[in-house]
Every structure is written in C-alpha cells, then in structure tokens.
Structure 1
Amino acid sequence: MAIQPQTAVLIGILLLALVTVESGGYFMTRVVRRKVPANALQVSFFRAGHAHAGVLLVLSVAILSVIDFAQLEGFWSFAARTLVPIAAILMPAGFFLSVLGRDPEKPNRLILLLWVGAASLTAGLIVAGVGLLTAGLAS
C-alpha cells in the first residue's frame, strides 16, 4: 500500500516543524547557561516543553508512516492522523506559556493546554493503536 498524499503532506509539515524544535534547543542552551533569565520553575518547564515537542513530533511521524495500513475512514481516520500532532502543539505550549513572565511562582491557567494535549495524545494513540490492531488481525 502506497502512502496517501495527505499523509505525505502532514509528515512533511511535521518534519519542518522539527526545525523549530532544533532552534528551541539553542534557546535551551541559553537558558541553562543563564544567558536568559529564568527561575527554577521556568527552567524545568522549558526543558519539559522542549522534550515533549521533539518526542511527540517524531511519534507523530512514526504513526503517520503506518496509519494508512489501518484503512480507517471518516472521523476515525481524522482522529488517528491528527490527535497526536495536535498534542505535539498543545503540550509544549502548555509548558512554555504557563510559566511566562518575570519569576512566576506557579504555572498560570495556560497549563490547561498541557492537559488538553494529554487527552488528545491518549485518544490519538488509542484510535491509531486499535485501528492498526484491527487491520493486522483482519489480514
């Protein structure tokens, strides 16, 4: 089975998005060398945001590389293809945006993005996993 055109486009977008994670690595080197002012909470959240961005983008590419085999349709196809990439945006955004400002003591309300992203990740993994299992067992 050949890769679907929409799958190839989304993988291309995700690979280009990894360049932003790469440049975020430069920001992280500045944070840990104290070239950018950040308290301990910010440093830990920036690290977590950076790590989640990279891992979730790569996970998204891995899922998209095989999801066409599941032959999902409609909503289920959309969910399997997009929920993990959505999590790759929301979770890091929650980490970064919730600790912006001068010396925050705790995350702000934007931490909600982290939890919405976690729900998106969980749903995407379940739909893609069940879809692939079903397709594999049916063949």
Structure 2
Amino acid sequence: MALNILKLCVGCDSVEDLEAWIAHKRAERGGPHHFHITRMVPQRTADLDGGSLYWVIKGSVQCRQRLLGIEPFVDGEGIGRCKFLLHPDVVRTHWQPRRPFQGWRYLQLEDAPDDLGAGSALAEMPPKLRLELAELGLL
C-alpha cells in the first residue's frame, strides 16, 4: 500500500494557479521535469513508491501529483534539503478540509480523498462555484 505526502500549496488560490505555476517553472527550467523543494527528507521513502503529493489549497485538499522520486541534497549554503520529483499532470480530487500545518505530513491511502472522475459534474463545475459550495459546506 502506497504512502502519500500532504503539503500546503502556499501562494496558490486555486488548482488553476498551481497548474500555471507548474507550467511557468517547467518553461523556466527548460525541460519536462517538475519538482518541489522542501527542508525535511521523509524517513519512509520506500513506502512512498507509487504515492502522490496531495496539495492543500485554501484549507482543502483539492488535487494531487504523482511522486516520481525523492532526492535529498545539500544547497549552496550547506543546508540539507529534499527534492520531490513530481509528474507534471495535476489530478483533481474531491475536496477534503485540512487545518494549516508547517512542512509536510504523511497521508495514508485510506485517508486520501478520491480522484474526481474525468467528465464528472464536480470536475466540470467552475472553480468559483465549487469554492462557494465548499464554503457553505455543501461539497
């Protein structure tokens, strides 16, 4: 059973913002690779094989990216860091409320929200309407 990572998506107001940021970073780096750098290295890297990074946006898990690998490294200032190698495609999920936290957390498969099916009514709903319905507790 694959283990997942849960991370706050700071600076993005929507999944569309995250997708635009990913496209910008990939164009800036000049390649197909996408990664996210964080401070702490997961101790359970073997359990993360086949897992995903679930993004918390505006207080709810809204999407995920498949984890392709984890690379610990030391930056130019001598500080240990971790690079999460991610598939560039963002998969929307059912929204799941989450309180703020620092860093990242492990997320068990049974606790992870399900993916929204392609062509489902929720997936086709405009993001602003989904946000309003979620704030009202209707999603």
Structure-1-length-normalised TM-score: 0.28
More strand by share: 2
Who wins on radius of gyration, i.e. which is larger? Answer: 1
Structure-2-length-normalised TM-score: 0.28
